Amino acid sequence: MRNTKIETFDATINCVYGCPNNCEYCYGNVLNKRFHFCKDWKVPEWKPEHLKEFYSKNPRSIFIDSMSDIGTWEQEWIEQVINAIVANQQHKYIALTKRPAVLSNKLIAITNKRGNRDFYSLYGHRNLFFGISITTQAQADRADYSVDFYSVEPILESITLPWRSFPKVIIIGAETGNGKGKVIPQKKWIDYLVRQADEHHSAVFMKESLRQLMGDDFRQDKLPWDIER
């Protein structure tokens, strides 16, 4: 397990390295060029030796796919990670995907295989939080799934979020670093997301990357894994 500078979690555990999503701003790809976690970043690699990191005692919020996208994992990898999560309920776990449709099918297949159609009643607890990563309107249009949060980071344009399955929390952030073609968000894009969240009584958590842009409107409500259920 690694401590993380990501402000929304305490730590990361990565049992998979690599991602075929091909995002231009991907920091994992940059790190992989330096540290060679996997042979080809576009081909996810399973690293089961990291499963033992779930067994640490000190309770933490842990991001489980900071170097991949759980929607692109093999179903068997998801099952093994879920088993480690079930065995370690002292932590809270967070998973993020840009492929909610594929992930949803894999989770349904896992729960059906175990003879129960309800994912959460199958595991009898609620310490795994799923989010959908949205950076553009096209991704938002494919994100109409019931999840715990949307992560709109980096926001690349003004976005109307799916209305039907609005989650309890919206996390918003800007692109960081000095990458070529970096998109500087406009305040009105963020204000529009906040209005949508307010209309749904959802919390808003802005990353530090937006503090200067938002000024007095900067806002950090509670994160899903900080809200008591």
Q: Which is nearer to ligand SF4, 133 or 196 (CB)?
A: 133
Question: Least separation, in Å, of the C-beta of 22 and ligand SF4?
Answer: 6
220 binds ligand SF4 (CB under 6 A): no
**23 counts as binding ligand SF4 under rule CB under 6 A:** yes
Question: Closer to ligand SF4 at the Cβ: 13 or 194?
Answer: 13
The residue (of 23 and 213) whose beta carbon lies closer to ligand SF4 is: 23
HEC per residue, the chain: CEECCCCCCCEECCCEECCCCCCCCCHHHHHHHHHCCCCCCCCCEECHHHHHHHHCCCCCEEECCCCCCHHHCCHHHHHHHHHHHHCCCCCEEEEEECCHHHHHHHHHHHHHHCCCCCHHHHHCCCCEEEEEECCCHHHHHCCCCCCCEEEECCCCCCCCCCCCCCCCEEEECCCCCCCCCCCCCCHHHHHHHHHHHHHCCCEEEECHHHHHHHHHHCCECCCHHHCCC
How many residues bind to ligand SF4 according to rule CB under 6 A? 10
Round to whole Å and give the CA distance between 120 and 71.
18
Q: Is 68 in the site for ligand SF4 (CB under 6 A)?
A: yes
Q: Are 1 and 55 in contact (CB under 8 A)?
A: no
Binding of ligand SF4 by 153 (CB under 6 A): no
Task: Tell whether residue 6 is a contact of ligand SF4 (CB under 6 A).
Answer: no
Query: Is 151 a binder of ligand SF4 (CB under 6 A)?
Result: no
Spell out, one character per residue from 29 to 58, where the chain touches ligand SF4: x when CB under 6 A holds, - when not: x-----------------------------
Candidates 14-22, 31-39, 51-59, 110-118: pick the segment binding ligand SF4 (CB under 6 A): 14-22
Kindly write out the interface string for residues 96-115 of this chain, putting x where it contacts ligand SF4 by CB under 6 A and - elsewhere.
--x-----------------
Nearer Cβ to ligand SF4, position 17 or 225?
Answer: 17
Residues that bind ligand SF4 (CB under 6 A): 19, 21-23, 26, 28-29, 68-69, 98
